[in-house]
Amino acid sequence: MRYQIESLVECLEDMKPLLEKHWKEVAWYQDEIKLNPSYDKYLQLEELGMLHIVTVRDGEELVGYNINFINSHLHYSDHVYAVNDIIFLKPEYRNVGVAIGLLEVTEQELKKLGVSVVTIHMKTDHPFKSLMEHAEFTQQEHIYSKLIGV
């Protein structure tokens, strides 16, 4: 396995099929809300140094990614937070140590950028709590959603 930082331009075409699989696996309201990433906004954030992507490849094949938004926190302006956008591994690479490697490399790289806190969210119907606890994350919140219009 090869873990590395990649720019969106470098990995986007490889990532698109995984994004579709990821969306089909975990997205709520799929009948009403279709996957339609705003790649131009992601690229803008990347240009501003606010997007961080760690990928994992098996040879040349992209098998996972961890994408975070980086910014100083509006409540704690003396700290930089990395807020997870999406994290995904192809199912056949789960529960074999690849995920913990992805989290460890991400943490190491984010520390180099001065990040103080990393937050990751997970779907309640696709939990990976044991992975988070193994990586020494602490559960802090519950998030609720409600579809109110389309």
User: Both tokens of residue 136?
Assistant: 């020494």
Residue 47 in domain = yes
Task: Tell me what percent of the chain is helix, strand and coil, each rounded to the nearest 5.
Answer: 35, 25, 40
Give the predicted TM-score (pTM) of the model.
0.90
13 within domain boundaries: yes
Within 10 Å of residue 21's Cβ, how many Cβ atoms? 13
Would you say residue 139 lies in a domain? no
pLDDT in tens, the chain (150 residues): 999 999 999 999 999 999 999 999 999 999 999 999 999 999 999 999 999 999 999 999 999 999 999 999 999 999 999 999 999 999 999 989 999 999 999 999 999 999 999 998 878 777 777 887 888 888 888 788 888 887
Where residue 44 sits, what CATH number does that domain have? 3.40.630.30
Residue 141 lies in a domain: no
Alpha carbons 102 and 97: distance in angstroms, whole number: 9
User: How many domains, in total, are found in the chain?
Assistant: 1
Residue 143, domain member (yes or no): no
- What's the pLDDT score for residue 67? 98
